[in-house]
Structures are given as C-alpha cells and as structure tokens.
Amino acid sequence: MAVEVCVKAAVGAPDTLGDCPFSQRVLLTLEEKKVTYEMKLVDLSNKPEWFLKISPEGKVPVFNSGDGKWIADSDVITQVIEEKFPTPSLVTPPEYASVGSKVFPSFVKFLKSKDASDGSEKALLDELQALDEHLKAHGPYINGENVSAADLSLGPKLFHLQVALEHFKGWKIPENLTSVHAYTKALFSRESFVKTKPAKEHLIAGWAPKVNA
C-alpha cells in the first residue's frame, strides 16, 4: 500500500492545497526525505464520509505509512516518518527541539488583537528576538548547517506570520532581526517548501474569519 496523507484543501477551492501549517509540516518531512506519497485534499467545510471514518474528530493531517493504519497529530506523524524513513535524518537534538515553539501562539494572539496596548506585539517581538539570537549563534538553521524537524515545524508557521500580519496589520518582521530574515529566505526557497506552501490568497482567506471574529 502507498504512503498516504490527508491535508486541508483551500477555503473555497477544494481541489487546491490549503493553508494548514501542520499539514505542510508533514508534507515537508516527506519531501525532504524523498518519500513517494499520495496526497488527499479534504474540504474541511464539507468533510466527506470516508475522511470521518479515518479521522473521527475530523482533523487534519492524518497519515498512513502504507500499513492501512491512520494516525493523527503532526508531532506523532513526523516521529513515525522519522522512524520508518530514517534517511536523511531530520532529528533535532532535544536541547534545540523547542526553539521558536512560542512564536506561533504569540503570532495568533497578536493577529487577533484589537487592542494595541495589550502587550501582544511585544510578546511576539520577544519570541522573534530569541529566535534571532539562537540562529545567530547556531544557524543558519535551528540545528546548524542542515535542516531538521524543528525547522519543518516552524517554517510553515513563520510563512503564516509573514503573510497574515502584513495583510491584516501592515506589520513586518523588523529588519534588524537579520538572522530571522536569512532563515525565512532560506527555508521558503527550498524546493520542498515551494512545492507544499499554500497560495497567499488562500492563507489570507483561511485567517479572515478568525481575524474578523
């Protein structure tokens, strides 16, 4: 049986890859390991019966490594891919595994914030500053010269941050965070990333209801 992965389809375009950073993380892991896989797009606004059978909670991504067993949660899925397809290794050393892990929740809070004095912008800047300092000392990637699992988790989230904050708030990552800028440029230009990223308009459409709530 083939390796299969169910991912989010674009909002309003069910035949196009959507804007789920957790789905992209799994696709990036498969691409970086050169694993042949079959991608199934799921319209989350109209979940098909076959999908709810394999993902009763209706969540993406779900993954089947070829044995017919479907598993959920991008943390678990990427671990299974690493064990089943160990080459090239994408293991991030434990001491670096959580680098940048608070960037995404800080971004979401700032994106949804309607109050300029609530501290959400500063909280995000602090996280980006910490990431910049780590990359300055250990870069170009989180674990040095080679891409690893932590980058494939953080990269899609930084893409969301960059596109959504510029669109909804006219906000950009400060120029003085040069290592973060070099990092996003390197990650976003990788062949695996170009192939698996959502179109900007679909990413914006995905966030619009949450921002305007």
Element (H, E) at 68: none
pLDDT at 112: 97
Checking if the pLDDT of 81 tops 90, the result is yes
Cα–Cα distance, 122 to 124 (Å, whole number): 5
pLDDT of 195 above 90 = yes
Residues 6+ apart with CB under 8 A from 125: 174
Distances (CA, A) of 143 to 90, 134, 139, 150, 155: 10, 10, 7, 8, 14
Q: What pLDDT does residue 213 have?
A: 82
pTM recorded for the entire structure:
0.97
Dihedral in degrees, nearest 10, Cα atoms 104, 106, 112, 113: -170
Instruction: Kindly state the average pLDDT of the residues 57-77.
Output: 97
Mean pLDDT of 180-188: 98
Q: Is the pLDDT of residue 1 over 90?
A: no
Give me the chain's average pLDDT, please.
97
pLDDT: is 159 or 11 the higher one?
159
- CA-based nearest residue to 159, from 21, 10, 31: 21
| Closest alpha carbon to 7 in 25, 28, 30, 23 | 23
Query: Where do runs of H (alpha helix) occur along the chain?
Result: 21-32, 49-54, 74-84, 103-112, 120-138, 149-169, 178-188, 191-196, 200-211
* The one-letter amino acid at 24: Q
Q: For 166, what's the count of Cα atoms within 13 Å in the CB-facing half-sphere?
A: 12
Q: Give the tens place of pLDDT for each residue, 159-180.
A: 999 999 999 999 999 999 999 9
What pLDDT is stored for residue 101 in this prediction? Answer: 97
Confidence at 43, pLDDT banded by 50, 70, 90:
very high
Q: Is the model more confident about 181 or about 213?
A: 181
Q: Which domains does the chain have, with CATH numbers?
A: 3-84 (3.40.30.10), 94-212 (1.20.1050.10)
List pLDDT tens digits, range 82-94: 999 999 999 999 9
For 64, phi then psi, to 5°, come to -130, 120
Catalytic residues: 20
